[in-house]
Structure 1
Amino acid sequence: MPAPGDIRAALELKAKELGFDQIGFTGAETSEAFVAALRTFVAEGRHASMDWMADRLFHRENPKNLWPEAKTAIMLGVNYGPKDDPRPLLAARDVGNISVYARGKDYHDIIKKRLKALGRYMAETWGCQLKVFVDTAPVAEKPLAAQAGLGWQGKHTNLVSREYGSWLFLGAILTDMELPVDAAHRDQCGSCQACLDACPTNAFPAPYQIDARRCISYLTIEHKGPVPEEFRKALGNRIYGCDDCLAACPWNKFAEVSREAAFHARVELGAPALADLVRLDDAAFRTVFSGSPIKRIGRDRFVRNVLYAIGNSHDPSYLPAVRELCNDTSIVVRDAALWALAELGGANGDTYS
C-alpha cells in the first residue's frame, strides 16, 4: 500500500483530470461549534418546512453518524462562475430572474458522475471503501469544505473561495482511508457585510446565521404553498432562487467564468420572457426544463413564482394570461394569479370561483 501522502497526491491529480477545480482533505468529523449552531438553527425553526433537516439532524451533525467507518472527508469544488453579474437583470420587468446555478444543466448529475469516477479509481487502485455525496444526503458540505481548506463560510453562510468567490458547487467523498488533512481556511470576511445588506428580505438575523423562512431561495424553491404576502413584492422578478448575497461578495472580483460549458446559461434561461413562462402547462414545463434542477419543483410552484413576478411588473398587458389562471386547477397558482390580478389593477369587477 502506498504512503498516505502519495495516495493524496494521486487523488489531487485525478480530481483535476476529471474536471474538479478544487480538492481538500479533512477528518470525517465536524466541530462542536458547527453542531451547536445547527441544533440552534433547527430548534428555532429557521429550517422552515424542510423537515428532513430535523428528521436527520443526528446524521447531519457528523459524518461518522452517517457512516461510522469514515476516516477522511475528501471535499471537491467545481466553479460555476457566470459570465456576467446576475444583478442587473433584476431591473427588467418583462423577464424572470433564475439563480445562476440553475441556468445550465443540473449540477447534481454532472458532479455525481465525476464523484463516482473518482470513487471507482480509488476503489480499484487501493481497495478502499467509500461513499459519494452531492447535496443529496445529510452531509454538512460547507463546514467540511471550510475545514478542508477550500474556503470559508461567509456571513451569508455560503462558502467563499479566494479563487472562485461565491460560485462553487461542492461534492464529498467519505472514505475509510486515513489521509493527510489540510488546515481549515481562515475567515476573511473582516468587517464587510455586503452580503447581509444585499438581502431583500432581511433573512440574516445576524452574521453567519440565516432564517430560511425569510430567504427568497427557500420561498421560491422549497416552500410548497403560497408565499407569505409580506415577501411577494420583495421577490421582484426572481422566479427561481436568489443570488443577491452571493453576487454582492467582494471576493467575486477574483472569480473566473466556469470552464464547464454545461454550467453556462442556456439561451432560453438566461433572461426568459414572463409572457412565455406563465402559459406553461405541466407537459410544456417538463419539456422546457428537462435536465434542469428547476424541473424538480414542478409546474405549479414555478408558475406561482412567475405570477408574483408578473404582479410586480405592474404591466397590464399580462392581464389576459393572469385572468385565465385565476381558475387554474392548482390552489397555489390560483392564489398567485388573484394577487397578480390585484397588483395589475384588474381585480375590480372580476369574480372567480
Structure 2
Amino acid sequence: MARIELIAATAFGLESIVADELRKLGYENMEVQNGKVIFTANEEGICRANLWLRCADRIGIKVGEFEARTFEELFQQTKALPWEEWLPVDAEFPVTGKSVKSQLFSVSDCQAIVKKAIVEKLKDTYGISWFEETGPRYAVQVSILKNRVTLTIDTTGKGLNKRGYRALAGEAPLKETLAAGMVYLSYWKPDRVLIDPFCGTGTIPIEAAYIGQNRAPGLTRTFAAEQWPNIDEKYWTKARKEAEDLWQRDLPLMIYGSDIDPKALRLAREHTREAGLEGKIYFQKLPVKEVRSRFHYGYLITNPPYGERLGNTAEAEVLYRELGDVFSELTDWSLHLLTALPKPEIFIMKKWDKSRKLYNGRIQCHYYQFFGPRPPKKQNTDEI
C-alpha cells in the first residue's frame, strides 16, 4: 500500500482535537497547522479517516505544494505533479480555489490555469487531446496563502458534518463537527449524565451519543473516494467492518435535551430517529429556568442563543442569568457553553476555568468551561 500525504481540513480552534482523533486511529506522523492537520497514511487510512473523524470538515490528498508568484510558475509546477497517479482517463476533475495575501489574487484565473496544467499533463500521460470527464469525481482545490500553493484532491464529497441524520435543520443550526468538538473538550464520559438545556434540533445530544457509543459518524453515508478505482473496495469493506465491530450499540446513556421551541424539539426527535438513537436520548419542552436533575457530577453542554445569532442581547442575558441560577443549584456539575456573548461569568456568577476561541459558522465565539469537582473514586456517581 502506498504512503499518502493527507490533509484533514478543520474549522479554526478544532485542529488539536482532530490531531488527537488521528492519534487514536493510530496515525502519529502529523503536522498541525491553522485550519488543518497534515498526516501520512495509506489507502486504508483514507477510508478510516473519512469514517471516523468527528471534528474535521473533509479529507484531501495533498498532491503538491510550492511557491508561485506568476501564472507561468503556477502552470509549470502544477503540470510537473503526478496527477496521473490519481486521475484516470475518464476522471471528472473540477477545480475550485482560494487565495489569501498572495500575488496571484485572481481565484478564477488560478483555477483555470491549474485546470489547463492538469489537462496538459494528462494529455502527455494518456495520449489523447480531449477528456470527456464522465467518470468518478476528483474535486481539485488550489489554495494559495502568502504565495504558497497547495493542491489537493478531495476524498470526502459532501462535508464530514453530513452524518445523514439531519436532513432538516432549524433556525441557526449548530454544525455537527463543532458540536462533537464541544463534547470532546468537555471530557464527558458516557457513564455520566449530560443535559443540553438549549438543545434546539438535538445536535449536541446526538453527537454525544455517537461519542458515547464509539460510533463512527460516517458509517451510514458514502464518500467521493468510494467511487475511485485507485482505492480497492476491500479497504472500504475492512474499515466499515472495523467501525461496526467497535460500535457499542447497547451501551446505556443518560443524555437529555430541553428547549422551549416545539418545532425544534420535533426536529430533534426526528433527527434522533434518523440517527438510530431512539430510546437513548430524551427531549422535553422546558424553559431553562426549570431545568433540574436528580443525578450528580453531570455535564451541562450547550450553545445558548446570543444576540448575533438569535433574538437580541437583552433577551439572551436573561436566559444566561437563568442558566446561572440552574448551574448554582447543580453544585457538583460542570458547565460548558459556546457563546459570542462577552464575559458570561457575569451571568453565570462564577469565573470560567478555561476558554477557547471557536467559530460557529462565521461568528467568532468562545467555548467557556466551568469545571465541577471530580466524583469520589469509590462513590457511585448515579442518583442518590
State the TM-score, normalizing by the size of structure 2: 0.24
Q: Name which one, 1 or 2, has greater alpha-carbon Rg.
A: 2
State the TM-score, normalizing by the size of structure 1: 0.26
Q: Write 1 or 2 for the structure with the bigger share of helix.
A: 1
